[in-house]
Amino acid sequence: MPPFGSISRRRLISILKKLRFTGPFSGGRHEFMVRGNTVLTIPNRHAGDIGVGLLAIILKQAGISRSEWERV
């Protein structure tokens, strides 16, 4: 169960795959992942982890609740 906190990009992608997202696919400036009609933009690679604020935004766009996130 991943805690709701900062997370690496690689770990984020692996958890999203467990939640039935496919990808990541190449996009314009960012890669994206898809589940049904939901298209989710993935942050680019950078030195640090993805912070709590950005993680909350990503989960909201993906339609994933915090409890669902912590159950994976």
Please write the tens of the pLDDT for every residue from 17-59.
999 999 999 988 999 999 999 999 999 888 889 999 999 999 9
Rounded to a whole number, what is the distance in angstroms from the first to the last CA of the chain?
A: 5
Topology classification of domain 9-71: Metal Transport, Frataxin; Chain A (3.30.920)
Q: Which of 27, 28, 3, 31 is nearest to 15 (CA)?
A: 3
Three-state DSSP state, 23: strand
Q: Parse the chain into domains and list their residue ranges.
A: 9-71
For residue 36, the 8-state DSSP code is T
* Both structure tokens of 3: 């805690």
pTM to 2 decimal places: 0.87
CA-based Rg of the chain, rounded to a whole angstrom? 11
